[in-house]
Structure 1
Amino acid sequence: GVRVNEELESKYIHIDNCEASGFGDDGITTHHSRYLVITNNYCHHATGGGNNNGIEIDDGSQHVMLDNNMTEENYGGVEVKAHGNSSAPNNVMISNHMSIKDSRAYNIRHIGHHRAGDPISKTAHSVILNNCSAITPYDNKVYPGTTPRALVISGYRNVQVNGYTAVGDGTYTANMPVVAVQFMSNNIMLNNINITGFKNSQADIKVFGGSNRGKKITISNVNIWNSSANRGIAGGGGIYDLRIINASLQGQGTGNGVELYNNTAEVIGVNAENYNNAAYITNKAYRVVPTAVKGGFSGGSTGAGAIAERSAVIATTGNSYAHSDRSWLAGVGAGSHAHGSRSSVMNSLESETLPGAYCQTIVNSRGVKS
């Protein structure tokens, strides 16, 4: 939460139609300022030797809008970042940006708030990318010893990426992910994503797990075509609340379309073809990507509810409820209830299994307690 006094900040600054090149740090940098508009600029060919970015939104910046800019041959095209002892930028809106041959096209991070045991950032939140593209990101040696990414999000919350395109040329660094979400990031949404041309990559989209894993990550409306020969969308160890919704994945004849370490992800409407396995989940190979819906599930029901996390109601009406984990109702009504683990009520009215018991079943009955 450390900030300069507001009276020392710059405000209401518009940088428009400028060109920067040959810079040793960044083409355009902002610090501890607010209400900034950066439009129609071209920042290219940093001299190299370190973290040289086309445009960097740095320590303490707030309420910054970038639109219709272009960066080329820098370490980062656009970097939104802060040092560990300073407040992170927030409310940053990036739209219609084109990154050409930058090593890390879009890099969103709060240094010093990534590793297990690091303090969680108090200020790294609220970034939006709309209609942005990364064209052939690669290890251009501007920052020696680093690795490329088309997009990486680290330690931030409330990040939305909409309408994003990454296009490779087949020469991407082997075993590196194209898009990465990592390092305690949470409330991340990647939506309307196109990826192609990264055949050497570790994965086209990778959500990293481990002791500093992120949470609440949604990947939706994804097209992947002729890209990673290894993985289309990959999760990580200990990721328990990933959602993958509506994706069309077309591989190169090898690898896995979807690869997950556990069965806790929600997977809906995902199609994968031309991979060795459409999905590979908890060391099991799937020919077709499965559908997995989490939480209490209600299907074809009105006036009924699945209250427990691992309960279900199907074709059920009339103020009827499944109350316990591993309880379910099917084709029931008139105030029926399922209590107890591994208990169910089927094709019945006004019937109820007993709280505190287990392995109870009521079938084709009316007015039964069991």
Structure 2
Amino acid sequence: MENYTTFLGLYKPESTESIEIDSKLAENFETIDSKIGIALSNGITTFENLNERLKMYENRFEYLDERNVMDYGAKGDGVTDDTQAFHDAMAEGGYLIKVPAGEFRVSGLLVPSNTMLVGAGKKRTIIKLLDDTPVGHSVLTNSDHTNGNENIYIGHLTLDWNKDTRPAGWKIPKGPTSSCLLFANVDYSFVEHVFAKNAGLHGFDATSPNYNRHGENDDPTFYQPGGCNFVTFSYCEATGSGDDNFTCHFGKHTTFSHCLSYHPMGLNDGSSNTNCFEIDDCSQDVMVDSCIAIGGVRGFEIKAHDYAPAAKRVQLVNCRAYENAISFCIRHIGHHTASDPQSASAHDVQLANCIAYNPKPSDLYKGAGPNALQISGYDGVNVVNFHAICDDSSINYKGNSVVSVYYKGRLINLKNITIRGFKTADNDLYIVGGDNSVGKVMIDGVTLIDSAEKGVVFGSGMYESVVSNVWGQRSPKNNSGTVGIFSVDPDLNVSNCDFSGYETDFKIGGVVTPYFLFKHKGSGIIGSRDSHATGNNNFVAGSVRSRATGAAQSSVIASYNTINPNSDSVALGWASGSTSSSSNRKIEFHAKDGTIKASGSIKSSQTFSDYAEYFESLSGEKIPVGTLVTLEGDKIRPAKKGDFMLGVISETAGVILGESSFHLSGRYLKNDFGGYIYEKQKDANGQIVMAPMENPDYKPDKNYASREERDEWNVVGLVGQVYVRCDSTVEAGDFIQAHNNGIATKTVSPKQRWQVMRVIKEFDKSKGYGVVLVFIR
């Protein structure tokens, strides 16, 4: 067996070296190695192994023979048909074709593989279509759309499709046609320092031999075969195209670098989506780097039609858009509204360090823009370090948003966004909600300077979105109706946002908040260590080794080693050591039941010292403080001589019962003994809870005043030290009884043994009473 060097570079020793070799293993290895070489055949040569194939790639351009097109009969005089001269010079490929300065008229060039076509300089060497060339021809394309081509280099020249000489009524045929430079089914090729001028369809197009279209492969999951791979356009320039100056379809690894695109012209007045750069149907792994777009309908568009898969895995880096109707646009047509299917392919786009400058309306497409950035139908979009700037006060942005996410745009991240000078726009940044929204947009680091009426706006249903670190400043000349952050939904997550020069800083869920606002939907932990909140809307604050584990609305505050297992409650607790437990709770406030539990004493820091309840007066009027009262039925009136004294109207009660502070006392149904009747209810988190059954006659929209605010309800001290109105007979140490109109008088045979502790104020005849402090029981 011969000594054999594989594509892996492994050394196979000869048998004479006394090394035992498994012959079957060696044969299999050589077979695999050979088949890899065969699989990489270029259609002409079959390589014995991959190492030979790779060497061919390395040497392909290095050893091209050089030819000059003038040596094959080209004139370059702007009149002569030089088509055949180019084809003779290129032959079957393998040559570097030099094209000197001049204007070379052709009917369309077909460039074979392994060919370099190099001019004397962009705008010095001009290749221009003859006036009578069929409309479907391109100035330059590859020679074999069916089987494909590779290793083509085009550089340092101008391609002119000669649109101006076309007869009236001419139309572009369907499919990839009518371009300045059209690559279809081309791999590993470069185009640089080329100027594409006045194309019928596209200035530059790296595509497949066919497009999807209505009635012909109109399936948004069908990927056309034969797309280009690893085609790079650098330092190229294009203008005047009937559709897009730069575009690609159905290929992978296309790169546009340092290219200039300006003023595509469109074919249909007022309805041409004619763009500077368009990354179109099913393009994948595309890089657009340091490119400039001027005066298109859309400066940079990443998209797909409804009948094709979307472009995906696209990066735009360091790109600038000037005076386009829409500077940057990301969309999948036909996958926008609630009734449309969600796109299965519109994913993963990145914009980094891009600038939109003075977007303005265009006559090329009526009603488009003006906008700096639009995102729809896509997910996984990241926009980082984006500037939108307007310094042209003549542009009217009324009715428009500078940046918008809408029509099923979802899982979008907008970070480090600066918007300046769009003073007439409705919104700087609008996240459109409603039926066509599928939610979740993250906005972080936004600076708004002298710009739109509303800063950051969220439509309905966008409660899962997050906005943070937004700073907005408007000049104070006209701030009427302006708002920094607006959200239809009340549950928007908001943090670290500040505004000046706006009428209102925040309007969220219909509520105006003119102050710094922090809102966080869901569970949260703040100012705590080794703590967890595991239910819905649970919260732990200022605690160590504490957990809120109730199903929902469970909180722990200022605690140590404490677990709150209950929903709708706040717990405080403490225990030494390092073990958390619910038994370490010391205080619990229960929101649903309205109860307070404490393991220690409840102490009052005030000097009030009686215990009281609310009673309704018989007269329906307020009874003066210090008046002795008695019961008549379930109501009270001032006590008279001989009446049983219920208590005293008090202002010094430490504990007051029966105020019915928050709602009508009959709001909930009660059983025969005054307790609530309970029923199963589903709370906002979908949990089943037992809750009081509401009275069907209760009207929640009716205004309700608590008993404290109603004259007919009086606080009656029942036990403790109270201030009592008295006549002139009462002194310290006396027992009292009611005399007349609730005034106390001395008695030597008390029935209730209410004793005077001290005289507070001597009897005043002009007032008709004195005041004594009485202990009642």
Asked whether the two chains share a fold, i.e. TM above 0.5, the reply is: yes
Q: What's the CA shift for 1:365? A: 5.7
What code does the residue aligned with 1:235 have?
F
Q: What's the CA shift for 1:364? A: 5.8
Q: 2:410 maps to which residue?
A: 186
Q: Structure 1: 5+ residue runs without aligned partners?
A: none
Q: What's the CA shift for 1:5? A: 5.2
1:36 and 1:65 in contact (8 A); partners too: yes
Please say if 1:265 is aligned against 2:492.
yes
What code does the residue aligned with 1:144 have?
K
Which residues in structure 2 correspond to 1:75-224 (within 5 Å)?
75-168=297-390, 169-170=392-393, 171-224=395-448
Q: 1:2 maps to which residue?
A: 221
Q: What's the CA shift for 1:319? A: 4.8
What code does the residue aligned with 1:345 have?
A
Indicate how the Cα distance of structure 1 residues 330 and 198 shifts in structure 2: closer, same or farther if over 3 A, else same. Answer: same
Distance across 1 between alignment mates of 2:446 and 2:255: 30
Indicate how the Cα distance of structure 1 residues 152 and 184 shifts in structure 2: closer, same or farther if over 3 A, else same. Answer: same
Q: 1:301 maps to which residue?
A: 528
What code does the residue aligned with 2:411 have?
N
Q: Secondary structure at the match of 2:427?
A: coil
Please say if 1:64 is aligned against 2:283.
no
Distance across 2 between alignment mates of 1:15 and 1:194: 30
Q: 1:46 maps to which residue?
A: 264
2:570 corresponds to which of 344, 350, 353: 344
Q: Secondary structure at the match of 1:328?
A: strand
What code does the residue aligned with 2:455 have?
G
Larger Rg over CA atoms: 2
RMSD: 2.0
1:182 and 1:214 in contact (8 A); partners too: no
Q: 2:234 maps to which residue?
A: 16
What code does the residue aligned with 1:147 have?
G
Q: 1:37 maps to which residue?
A: 255
Q: 2:185 maps to which residue?
A: none
Distance across 2 between alignment mates of 1:295 and 1:314: 14
Please say if 1:279 is aligned against 2:509.
no
Q: Secondary structure at the match of 2:440?
A: strand
2:562 and 2:572 in contact (8 A); partners too: no
Q: What's the CA shift for 1:293? A: 1.8
Identity level (%): 27
What code does the residue aligned with 2:364 have?
V
2:561 and 2:573 in contact (8 A); partners too: no
Distance across 2 between alignment mates of 1:259 and 1:319: 35
Q: What's the CA shift for 1:173? A: 2.3
Q: What's the CA shift for 1:304? A: 2.0
What code does the residue aligned with 2:447 have?
N
**Of 113-122 and 166-175, the range deviating more from structure 2:** 166-175
Q: Secondary structure at the match of 1:241?
A: coil
Q: Secondary structure at the match of 1:87?
A: coil
Q: What's the CA shift for 1:55? A: 0.5
Q: What's the CA shift for 1:363? A: 4.1
Q: 1:239 maps to which residue?
A: 462
Distance across 2 between alignment mates of 1:92 and 1:179: 19
2:361 and 2:367 in contact (8 A); partners too: no
Q: Which has the higher helix share?
A: 2
What code does the residue aligned with 1:3 have?
F
Q: What's the CA shift for 1:282? A: 2.3
Q: TM-score, normalised by structure 2?
A: 0.45
Q: Secondary structure at the match of 2:490?
A: coil
Distance across 1 between alignment mates of 2:355 and 2:324: 11
2:540 and 2:546 in contact (8 A); partners too: no
Q: Deviations over 1:103-134 (max 9, x none)?
A: 01001000000001100000000000000000
2:571 and 2:589 in contact (8 A); partners too: no
Indicate how the Cα distance of structure 1 residues 365 and 143 shifts in structure 2: closer, same or farther if over 3 A, else same. Answer: farther
1:347 and 1:363 in contact (8 A); partners too: no
Q: What's the CA shift for 1:332? A: 2.0
Distance across 1 between alignment mates of 2:520 and 2:473: 23
Distance across 2 between alignment mates of 1:19 and 1:364: 80
What code does the residue aligned with 1:344 have?
V
Q: Secondary structure at the match of 2:567?
A: coil
**Of 305-314 and 124-133, the range deviating more from structure 2:** 305-314
Distance across 1 between alignment mates of 2:416 and 2:397: 25
Higher relative contact order (CA 8 A, sep 6+): 1
Distance across 2 between alignment mates of 1:354 and 1:279: 31
Q: Deviations over 1:254-292 (max 9, x none)?
A: 111111112211111101110111112222222224111
What code does the residue aligned with 1:4 have?
Y
**Of 63-72 and 305-314, the range deviating more from structure 2:** 305-314
What code does the residue aligned with 1:59 have?
D
Distance across 2 between alignment mates of 1:4 and 1:314: 54
Q: Secondary structure at the match of 1:215?
A: coil
Distance across 1 between alignment mates of 2:546 and 2:498: 36
Q: What's the CA shift for 1:24? A: 1.2
Distance across 1 between alignment mates of 2:354 and 2:506: 29
Indicate how the Cα distance of structure 1 residues 305 and 363 shifts in structure 2: closer, same or farther if over 3 A, else same. Answer: farther
Q: 2:244 maps to which residue?
A: 26
Q: What's the CA shift for 1:198? A: 0.5
Q: 2:518 maps to which residue?
A: 291
Indicate how the Cα distance of structure 1 residues 344 and 142 shifts in structure 2: closer, same or farther if over 3 A, else same. Answer: same
